[in-house]
Structure 1
Amino acid sequence: MPIAYCLLPIAYCLLPIAYCLLPIAYCLLPIAYCLLPIAYCLLPIAYCLLPIAYCLLPIAYCLLPIAYCLLPAPCSLLPAP
């Protein structure tokens, strides 16, 4: 298994995760400000869940090459003749 080939999807995977942390950090500001007016707080939280849900897509897409990299070669998954 080429380890360098395996590290490329992982490094490519960190980019969407780092990009994903920006909306989450931006989301914490309305939540902290939310402790004062609770009714006014529900709108920023609902708006905050959208980037988080959008963030889970690249993370899930990122786990596929990592899981595929950790698996044995596809030939070893086939039953022996």
Structure 2
Amino acid sequence: MFSTSTKGAEASAAVFSLIETAKSNKLNPYDYIEFILDYLPQQDLVEDPKKLDWFLPWSEEIKEEFEIKAD
């Protein structure tokens, strides 16, 4: 509705999904996205694609990084 292109709508949906998933996992969405935008580009995900799992909002490592305890 607010996007002027299909690709823009898809990008918005991806970002909104990431924000809501972060909230569902009790992460501060702003801090979480800032963190992954800072650190994710430095990772060699082609060589080790399983590293991506570490950055997912439900990852225990991410919760520890943000000092959030799982319920």
Give the TM-score normalised by the residue count of structure 1.
0.27
Larger radius of gyration between Structure 1 and Structure 2? 1
